[in-house]
Chains A and B, each alone.
Chain A
């Protein structure tokens, strides 16, 4: 299992193996941070901070703890914490999904999905536009729903893994994912009216 190999390498020689860790996870953590924060610049800083924190933490862990780490979930958790702290520090204005404005417009556009046979767009450009709109809609969700739904459907984690990253009971994680989907659905439906 390559993940275990990487963990062993980190346990044996952190400095020698750390670059491999970054190369392996940089796209995943950057994408995750981007979906969480919305902006590319924020995403890069969050991913950077997350890796630096991971390095420092690994330096304090005994070997056995590194070898037994659920690496991916651990890294997502660190990224999530960095993003949360950052948001708190910056006190970013939260746009509610319910009011119109940019979010409402995004919601309306996101609904015109290729799965809707009534309005199937043929061009790839439109599909890309819809994805962008859906992504920006996700970024307006309250944090606890946003992180749950990104981990579950964008990053493709199982519900157990989502619960593990969020340090929540399985039932809570499940209901957060569920509510997130409902919120998105409702926002989209309402925007259509």
Chain B
């Protein structure tokens, strides 16, 4: 009898082969989220009332992972699941004070100590969002400002794309970034109308900015102290109108002997 046939007649071998041929099974999809939820690593969401209506905020242990508008909690849960592939449950606790303060534009994100879960983003995208976090409520900056500040002055368009992909708008205030020509530009959470409403609620006066831009004014200068700023710079609030001069470009201001403000940094500030 040949070896192969002999082996096939061997009942022990048959049992072993049969066992080895049992397939590996796929764990049900519900296993991972159930485990994460039970150990406290699952995602939950809060509902916040804001000047642009109800907004939902998702958080994991790593930090806040998604912010968006939705008509209801269940609609938000569906959006979240389709984006991240894991379920989410309503958070039983009240949204923390710092989250509310940032969402309402009362506190700068950078100062609130919020943690964000930005795992899916590139290093460049994270740098863009980290810079946007520094813009105080009531102020705006152009896309080119972020590009320059993070060391990629030529990547203005990529900066715009990174902001458009911001998974946590409102808390990382991409609405405070506007076009260099003064137009307030687009917004992922409900378009330019909501962007305008948010800026107004924070005291940034978008209408005034657009009028200035239409008149060719991009910067204000302090004639007495010889520095220039973005028009929304908080440092200008005490500036008397008679001491204020207007510039259409950085170059114009620099040529006139004005130095860039160290707070809003309208141009690279010498170290």
Contact = CB atoms under 8 A, between A and B. Distances in A.
B28 A30 contact: yes
Interface in B1-42: 5, 8-9, 11-28, 30-32, 34-36, 38-39, 41
Nearest to A189: B11
B contact residues, range: 20 to 34
Determine the main DSSP class of A at the interface with B. Answer: helix
A131 interface: yes
B240 to A, nearest CB: 53
Nearest to A153: B19
A31 interface: yes
B22 A35 contact: yes
A51 interface: yes
Contacts of B11: 185, 188-189
Interface string A18-44: 110011001111110011000010001
B61 interface: yes
A52 B35 contact: yes
Interface stretch (A62-70, A97-105, A110-118): A110-118
A136 to B, nearest CB: 11
A188 B11 CA distance: 9
A150 B12 CA distance: 15
Nearest to A15: B61
A contact residues, range: 35 or more
B22 A185 contact: no
B31 A110 contact: no
Given A115-B17, A116-B14, A19 B32 contact: yes
B28 A28 contact: no
A75 interface: no
Given A134-B19, A138-B19, A48 B61 contact: no
Contacts of A111: 14
Nearest to B35: A51
Contacts of A138: 19
Contacts of B22: 35, 131, 134-135, 154
A80 B92 CA distance: 35
Interface string A173-193: 000000001101100110000
B27 A115 contact: no
Nearest to A134: B18
B62 interface: yes
A116 B6 CA distance: 10
Given A52-B35, A55-B39, A27 B20 contact: no
A89 interface: no
Interface in A103-143: 110-111, 113, 115-117, 130-131, 134-135, 138
Interface of B: 5, 8-9, 11-28, 30-32, 34-36, 38-39, 41, 61-62
Given A47-B31, A51-B31, A138-B19, 4 more contacts: A19-B41, A23-B32, A154-B20, A184-B15
